Amino acid sequence: MRYTAGMANNIVHLNWNPETQFVLRDNENYQIVMKPKGVKASDLLTMGLIGCSSHDVVEILQKQRQDLRELRVTADSVQDDDPPWRFRKIHIRFQAVGKGLDVEKVCKAIKLSEEKYCSVYVTLREAVEITNEVEVVEMK
């Protein structure tokens, strides 16, 4: 493997054994258990996408002093019926809950994530059709 100066280098690990099956972990030892006792491997792709984007959106809205109280995000994906079950479409639904949230700022935060900050989105956008919708809910 060749590393290029100035580029980020991240290593993740997988351990399989008959008892725990497939366990993924990062360098800080956070773990994710995969099927048959946990998450389906292909779901990790969409989970990574919405996790990456959501982190950016929350951070951007906080910097804009938006009173965000909750962010709910779902990803609905379409895959081929036959192996290797290639992803064709991913639709992300953002629901931002807060007080006095500016819809335009929420939309701009999502766009910034997609175009500038979310490495997963930027990597996938050339290979998969990714769409989104936004709902802003006023908290009472």
Residue 129 has pLDDT above 60, yes or no: yes
Same domain, residue pair 78 and 91: yes
Residues 102 and 66 reside in one and the same domain = yes
Sorted by sequence, the CB contacts under 8 Å of residue 112 that are 6+ apart come out as 56, 60
Q: Tell the residue number behind the tokens 């995969």, with chain if given.
A: 34
Percent of the chain residues past pLDDT 70, beyond the cut: 96
Q: Is the pLDDT of residue 5 over 70?
A: no
CA dist 22 and 62 (Å) reads: 36
pLDDT tens digit sequence for 54-101: 999 999 999 999 999 999 999 999 999 999 999 999 999 999 999 999
Domain count, the chain: 2
Pair type for strands 21-25 and 13-17 = antiparallel
Angle at 122 between CA 106 and CA 62, to 5 degrees: 30
* Contact yes or no for 110/57 (Cβ under 8 A): yes
**35 & 71 share domain:** no
Query: Do 45 and 82 fall within a single domain?
Result: yes
Is residue 48 located within the same domain as residue 84?
yes
Q: Which domain holds residue 10?
A: 1-39
- Local confidence band at 45 (pLDDT 50, 70, 90 cut-offs): very high
Residue 52 scores a pLDDT above 70: yes
pTM as predicted: 0.90
Whether residue 69 is found in the same domain as residue 106: yes
User: Is residue 81 located within the same domain as residue 91?
Assistant: yes
Q: pLDDT value at position 9?
A: 83
Task: Please report which confidence band the pLDDT of residue 4 belongs to, taking 50, 70 and 90 as the band edges.
Answer: low
Indicate whether 104 and 35 sit together in one domain: no
Residues 35 and 46 in one domain: no
| Residues 47 and 35 reside in one and the same domain | no
What pLDDT, on a 0 to 100 scale, did the predictor assign at position 20? 79
Check residue 12 and give its pLDDT: 95
pLDDT tens, 108-123? Answer: 999 999 999 999 999 9
